[in-house]
């Protein structure tokens, strides 16, 4: 008995698709675990949550001090930058694991609600920078009359 194999153009495409999915998944797993961007700036772990009265941003920055953290508040973006210096020790002979990042870091948090920038505050507690952005008081919606005018003729 003779067995025939038919060529279908879908088979190589499906194999290529599996290969690309596998490659991209491996890259994504490596990239997100390393938390590095293209320019060598790393992103510390960040929590952003909203309460009834404020937007709270918590950034894990153990190993740095409050004077090394620079916080800039734009109308729709919170930018936190700085540098965590490496604690120089004697060079090890065998490295078993290295997970702590040193050098420049940057966190960009979009601000999804209206905030009062004058009342913003930040604290450095036990290696965590906690930024509190109070929500702006909602302006009372007062009904206003809008007059209709006709275009002026020349």
Q: Do 57 and 121 share a domain, yes or no?
A: yes
Q: Do 116 and 73 share a domain, yes or no?
A: yes
Q: Do 50 and 121 share a domain, yes or no?
A: yes
Yes or no: say if 142 and 133 are a contact pair by the CB < 8 Å rule: no
Yes or no: say if 121 and 131 are a contact pair by the CB < 8 Å rule: yes
pLDDT at 134: 93
Q: Is residue 14 part of a domain?
A: yes
Q: Is residue 1 part of a domain?
A: no
Domain that holds residue 17: 6-35
Give me the sheet containing 103-110, strands edge to edge.
69-73, 77-84, 103-110
Question: Which CATH number covers residue 53?
Answer: 2.60.40.790
Q: With H, G, I as helix, E, B as strand and everything else as coil, classify residue 83.
A: strand
* pLDDT tens-place string over residues 30-63: 555 445 554 678 899 999 999 999 999 999 999 8
pLDDT at 94: 76
* pLDDT tens-place string over residues 1-20: 676 666 666 667 777 788 88
Total domains, the chain: 2
73 confidence band (pLDDT: 50, 70, 90): very high
Q: Do 45 and 16 share a domain, yes or no?
A: no
């Amino acid at each position: 008995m003779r067995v025939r194999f038919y060529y279908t153009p879908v088979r190589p495409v499906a194999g290529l698709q599996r290969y690309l999915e596998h490659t991209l998944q491996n890259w994504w797993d490596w990239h997100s675990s390393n938390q590095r961007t293209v320019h060598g700036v790393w992103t510390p772990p960040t929590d952003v949550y909203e309460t009834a009265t404020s937007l709270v941003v918590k950034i894990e920055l153990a190993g740095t001090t409050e004077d090394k953290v620079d916080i800039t508040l734009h109308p729709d973006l919170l930018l936190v930058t700085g540098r965590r210096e490496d604690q120089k020790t004697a060079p090890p002979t065998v490295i078993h694991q290295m997970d702590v990042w040193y050098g420049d870091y940057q966190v960009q948090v979009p601000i999804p609600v209206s905030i009062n920038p004058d009342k913003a505050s930040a604290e450095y507690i036990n290696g965590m920078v906690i930024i509190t952005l109070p929500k702006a008081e909602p302006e009372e919606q007062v009904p206003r009359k809008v007059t209709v005018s006709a275009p002026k003729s020349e």
